[in-house]
Amino acid sequence: MIKRRARQAGLPMTTCCHTHRATGITTYLQNGGTIEHAQQIANHESPRTTKLYDRTNDAISLDEIERILI
């Protein structure tokens, strides 16, 4: 069902249920949530598992890009 809906929405074929889980956990953490509460929400036994879904460090800021000098 996820793959079918992703295709209809024009999302990449790599979209799956884990994509939605990662988006939810990342958004929760970006809005001030804690990893401990995210772990409870996701029903993970270990915070290490929850951290696998945390994409907050994937974004690169403009300040980092501006470090590139030519």
Q: What is the pLDDT of residues 3-50, one digit of tens each?
A: 899 899 998 889 988 888 999 999 999 999 999 999 999 999 999 999
Start-end of H helices in 9-44? 17-30, 35-42
Residue 66's pLDDT is what? 78
Q: Is the pLDDT of residue 59 over 80?
A: no
Q: What does the domain layout of the chain look like in residue ranges?
A: 2-54
pLDDT at residue 65 is higher than 80 = no
Reported pTM: 0.70
Mean pLDDT of 53-65: 79
- Residue type, position 34, single letter: T
With 80 as the cut, is the pLDDT of residue 61 above it?
A: no
Count of CB atoms situated within 10 Å of the CB of 11: 13
Instruction: Tell me which residue has tokens 């996701």.
Output: 42
